[in-house]
Amino acid sequence: MPAERSATAGPDGVGAGPGPRSGAAGGGGPKRPGRSGMRHKGVKVVIAAAVVFAGVKLLGSGVSALTGPPSPTRNALFGNWSGPAATPLGRSVPLRVHVPSVGIDAPLIRLGLDRDGAVAVPPMSVPTEAGWFTGDPTPGERGAAVIVGHVDTDYGRAVFYPLGNVQPGALVIVDRADKTHAQFRVTSVEVVDKNRFPADRVYGSDDNGTPQLRIITCGGAFDGSHYADNLVVYTQLVGVTG
């Protein structure tokens, strides 16, 4: 069974738990993701059983402990929005992420690695924050950038609670430090069993290095201790303003 984890656990989801109701899981020790030397893969290899992010269901949240937050049914990729990708942008630190169709508007913090070598997650005490992993491209650069966030915590519903309602074609905007606003469109959404997390697909980019952004949180059923799945939203850069 998946293990609980602490608030500093990374995407491989091992070793953390803000309390006995932690929504995390794992297996094996968290390691820093490596990168394939093959350009056409360009993927992060997760040296652990799964990718997960902590989430805690409050008794007063009004959501069934067995159903969890809004989430599509676990299956293969759904949706297939397509359109021309925009020209890659230069490097610029992301400051804020917006998903207007589901009411997400959140500041971004920088996430590195925790002391165990896993990708850190935003602090449980600030559930309104999401985080960008600094080991990947900035949103808008060539390749796949990654933003992560909690679905809920001991403090209530968190930043990505409504992410499961997002639909292919939805707009995602990232405000960047260079005063530009990178615009992405959701190409597809996936719910995966966190014990069978498809790291190559989630962290990889295409052969052309199309500017992409992946948003990841918990999803699926909540059994009172952890969520069964991860929700992954795939997007590509379609424009820039500012």
* Domain spans, the chain: 34-241
Segment 138-163, tens digit of pLDDT: 999 999 999 999 999 888 899 999 99
Q: Are the CB atoms for 115 and 32 separated by under 8 Å?
A: no
Q: What is the tens place of the pLDDT at every residue in 182-220? A: 999 999 999 988 888 888 888 888 878 899 999 999 888
Separation between Cα atoms, residue 145 and residue 207, nearest integer Å: 15
Identify the residue with better confidence: 136 or 76: 136
Among 6-10, 98-102, 119-123, 210-214, the least confident range: 6-10
- Residue 72 structure tokens: 């599509």
Spatial neighbors of 208 by CB under 8 A, at least 6 apart, are: none
Enumerate the β-bridge partners of residue 48.
none
Rounded Cα gap, residues 129 and 11, in angstroms: 16
| 195: its two tokens | 């014990």
Instruction: Please tell me the distance from the alpha carbon of residue 117 to that of residue 127, in angstroms, as a whole number.
Output: 23
Quick one: CA dihedral 21, 26, 174, 100, positive or negative?
negative
Q: What is the pTM of this model?
A: 0.75
In sequence order, what are the beta bridge partners of 199? none
Q: Which residues face 41 on adjacent strands? A: none
CATH value of 34-241 in 1.10.3720.10, 2.40.260.10, 1.10.4190.10, 2.60.40.10: 2.40.260.10
